[in-house]
Structures are given as C-alpha cells and as structure tokens.
A and B are shown apart, each in its own frame.
Chain A
C-alpha cells in the first residue's frame, strides 16, 4: 500500500542553526502534503499545506520565513526550521492524501513516521 516516509526520526540541533525534515511519498505522487506540529501532550495542529510546484500555504500564526517548505517534486516535501530556538522543540509530522481518492475515503491519508526535534 501507499507509504509516506519521514526523515529524520530524531534530531537534536543547537539554537540558531537550521534543520531540514524530509517527507517522501514512496509509491504514489503527492501533489499535496501537509505538515503538522504537535507539542507535548497536545493535539496535532496543521502548520502548512505543501503544494508541488507552488508556494506553501501557511496557517495563521505560523511564520513562513521560519518554517520553509519546499515541494520541488511529486514525491518530496521538505520542512526547514530556520534559526531554531528551544521553543521550536516539538514533534513534526507530515501527511499526504492519495490523489484522486474521495476525500477522506478510508485509509487514503498517509502519515510519515514523524520527527522529534529538540533544540538545545
């Protein structure tokens, strides 16, 4: 079945540096991918919608200059946290709906494994 792979699973970076997280669709082309952030003991919150070949759409309150999203191919979206600070420490997870599927039809929205980011 369709699979979404996310890398890295864990990353520790120093404050002020940038870190890149990759989200790949392995056996389908994902024209759209979504990036979520989950703080400890909280729910998943949509950060941005990544669209292949065009600019990402960011949710209110998410800084587009801090969270750079690139969706240069139909199978890869990247999230770069720039000038990371300890408050950016969180769990980041991507998802991709299978194109052409009825929205929400069964198991047609696939999640990556998620990435735990710790900024020290």
Chain B
C-alpha cells in the first residue's frame, strides 16, 4: 500500500530561520514522484517542489529544498530564511508510475512563522 506520513501536526519557526518539515513515504513502485504543496487559508494548492525517485540530486527551488533520503524513504522539506508569508499548511504527496497522476497526501503540517 502507498502511504505518506507527516508526523508534525504543527511547527513554529522564528522569522528568518530555517525549518524542516518531515515526510516519510511507502510504496512498492520503484518509479514515483514526491511533491510538496503549500496550502494557505484560501485553499489553493501551491506547488513548491518535486523529487523524482530516480533523481540523483536533491531538488531545490529558491528557498525550498528537499532532503531526499531514498533508503530511509524520507523526503523532508527545508525552508530557509522563513518569512511571515510562509505560514500555511504544508502537504507532502506522492504519485507513482502505476497511478494516472492522482496524488496521495499526508495529513499535513501547519507552519507558523513568528515575527
């Protein structure tokens, strides 16, 4: 069975500091993709970063980086230099080659950035 686990219901971080949001996954499909989305209170799903199972290097997108440890089946999101606007829900998600593009989501982490 495919599963995404996010064990941090809520996280606090001081403005301008870095924060790591944890995500572990489980799948038997050797080909998969891991996503992180940001969901503000408006509800929209904002794509942040993607890591493919065969990618050799960790993905980076601006202040976002993904710490991909394949053997541990973890794909933690690192946000550097946190900003007040980063306060939101963050979801880790996975899709596999066997799916048609549907995403399996974790329960999410609510990040609060303190001034």
Chain A partners chain B: yes
Q: Is the CB of A44 within 8 A of B105?
A: yes
* Chain B interface bracket (under 10, 10 to 19, 20 to 34, 35 or more): 20 to 34
Check if A103 sits within 8 Å of B103, measured CB to CB. no
Q: Say which one of B16-24, B66-74, B78-86, B90-98 lies at the interface with A.
A: B90-98
Count the A residues whose beta carbon is within 8 Å of the partner chain — how many? Answer: 26
CB within 8 Å of B: which A79-120 residues: 91, 93, 95-97, 102-109, 111, 113-114, 116
Partner of B43 from the list A46, A104, A116 (CB cut-off 8 Å) is A116
Nearest CB on B from A116, distance (A): 7
Q: A43-B107, A104-B35 are known; give 11 further A-B pairs, CB within 8 A.
A: A34-B103, A44-B91, A46-B102, A46-B104, A96-B101, A97-B101, A103-B97, A109-B47, A111-B47, A114-B43, A114-B45
